[in-house]
């Protein structure tokens, strides 16, 4: 059990003693954490806070927005735009980038986020969350969408916050994965786990089985083998888990192992996958890798992909290393 220190102290120690992060990044992460606390409060009010249900509008992805999608997006923008640490932000809920207004000082960082991942679960009280990623803005005057199109290897911080029975913040700054739990009485995130490790082997997989008829052959091959259990070629019984919000499924895998899969399917063959590379797949991939796991799109490491557009989509296979490597081999052999 790690010593019970606050997120602020943890980040100060990372800056002061370890030298992993500059002070500007520390302050930015504290602001993101405060925004997550505000989102957590809105989520926890549920129907009492008039935040449930649809906003009767669509985001840039063509997906119906929930009221909390819009609220969470606004909270993150308002919390981060004035601090002087950011040059611009990008979100799943916005078509283009949000440049910090001229009335505020501009910083050197770029922030990307999915403000409320798994929002289809809001109305049924299932865990949802916020995913974020931080990049350094390339040198030069001004800021453009092109500045965000960096591979995941360039991230300087990434994390997510799960709003469930507890509100949990999971963070990496490139030196392992740490977990913080919100102490609602103190109003502070407290360090509760350090150096999370994803076991190399697992008997659990997470995938939406209702899409099976649409999968490519390598995915079908992999799942068929798992479903045959200990009498099949894998020689062990697998369990399937599927929450339907990426933060919840990946958090389970970080906690106890498993493989999370959201593959390409033939319903939208022109799209490489469903999940967004910059603000979903990249931050989650870095967290998984920092915990000893692996993350690919079926053919290559996700974090090595150079994005070509802000809302680029990608297939995702991440989690326990040996399982990810197996399903990736099946794709390579196809």
Q: In this structure, what token pair is assigned to residue 161?
A: 């916050």
Identify the pLDDT of residue 66.
74
Q: pLDDT: is 166 or 124 the higher one? A: 166
Residue 76 or residue 17, greater confidence: 76
Task: Please say if the pLDDT value at position 3 is more than 80.
Answer: no
Residue 106 has pLDDT above 90, yes or no: yes
- The model's pTM is 0.94
Kindly state the tokens that stand for 79: 């919390």
- The residues, any chain, with a CB within 8 Å of residue 200's CB and separated by 6 or more, are 292, 320, 321, 322
Q: What is the pLDDT of residue 45?
A: 84
Q: CA dist 210 to 265, 308, 324, Å?
A: 12, 30, 21
pLDDT averaged over every residue in the chain = 93
pLDDT of 261 above 70: yes
Cα radius of gyration (the chain): 19
**pLDDT tens digits for range 223-257:** 999 999 999 999 999 999 999 999 999 999 999 99
Has residue 331 got a pLDDT over 60? Answer: yes
How many Å apart are CA 156 and CA 133, to the nearest integer?
8
**CA-to-CA distance for 183 and 178, rounded, in angstroms?**
16
Distance CA 26, CA 290 (A): 19
Mean pLDDT of 179-202: 95
**In this predicted model, which residue has the larger pLDDT, 121 or 40?**
40
Is the pLDDT at 10 greater than 90, yes or no?
yes
Give the contacts of 302 (CB within 8 A, at least 6 positions apart): 152, 277, 281, 282, 285, 295, 296, 314, 316, 318
| For residue 150, pLDDT beyond 90 | yes
Q: For residue 4, what pLDDT is reported?
A: 86
The pLDDT of residue 64: 58
Q: How do residues 43-93 score in pLDDT, each as one tens digit? A: 888 777 666 666 555 565 656 577 888 899 999 999 999 999 999 999 999
pLDDT band at 25 (very low <50, low <70, confident <90, very high): very high
pLDDT band of 267, cuts 50, 70, 90: very high
Quick one: which of 233, 172, 226, 177 has its CA closest to 25? 172
Mean pLDDT of 113-137: 91
pLDDT of the residue at 46: 77
Which comes out higher in pLDDT, residue 309 or 123? 309
Task: Give per-residue burial for 143-173: e unless 16+ CB within 10 Å, then b.
Answer: beeebbbbbbeebbbbbbbbbbeebbbbbbb
For residues 216-225, give the mean pLDDT.
Answer: 98
Name the residue among 322, 29, 72 with its Cα closest to residue 204: 322
């Amino acid at each position: 059990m790690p010593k019970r220190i606050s997120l602020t102290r943890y980040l100060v120690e990372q800056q002061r003693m370890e030298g992993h992060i500059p002070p500007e990044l520390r302050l930015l992460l504290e602001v993101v954490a405060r925004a997550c606390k505000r989102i957590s409060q809105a989520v926890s009010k549920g129907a009492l806070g008039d935040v449930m249900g649809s906003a009767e509008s669509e985001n840039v992805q063509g997906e119906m927005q929930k009221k909390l999608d819009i609220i969470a997006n606004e909270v993150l923008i308002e919390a981060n735009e004035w601090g002087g640490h950011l040059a611009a932000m990008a979100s799943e809920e916005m078509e283009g980038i949000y440049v910090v207004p001229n009335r505020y000082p501009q910083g050197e960082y770029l922030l990307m986020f999915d403000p409320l991942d798994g929002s289809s679960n809001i109305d049924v009280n299932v865990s949802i969350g916020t995913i974020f990623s931080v990049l350094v803005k390339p040198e030069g005057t001004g800021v453009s969408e092109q500045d965000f199109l960096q591979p995941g290897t360039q991230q300087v911080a990434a994390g997510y916050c799960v709003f469930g029975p507890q509100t949990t913040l999971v963070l990496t700054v490139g030196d392992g994965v740490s977990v913080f739990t919100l102490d609602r009485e103190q109003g502070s995130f407290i360090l509760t786990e350090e150096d999370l490790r994803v076991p190399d082997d697992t008997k659990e997989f997470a995938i939406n089985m209702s899409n099976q008829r649409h999968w490519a052959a390598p995915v079908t091959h992999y799942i068929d083998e798992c479903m045959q259990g200990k009498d099949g070629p894998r020689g062990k019984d697998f369990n399937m888990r599927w929450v339907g919000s990426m933060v919840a499924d990946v958090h389970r895998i970080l906690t106890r192992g498993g493989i999370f899969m959201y593959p390409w399917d033939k319903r939208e063959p022109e799209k490489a996958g469903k999940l967004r590379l910059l603000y979903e797949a990249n931050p989650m991939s870095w967290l998984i890798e920092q915990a000893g796991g692996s993350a690919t799109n079926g053919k290559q490491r996700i974090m090595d992909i150079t994005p070509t557009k802000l809302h680029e989509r990608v297939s995702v296979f991440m989690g326990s290393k040996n399982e990810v490597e197996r399903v990736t081999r099946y794709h390579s052999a196809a």
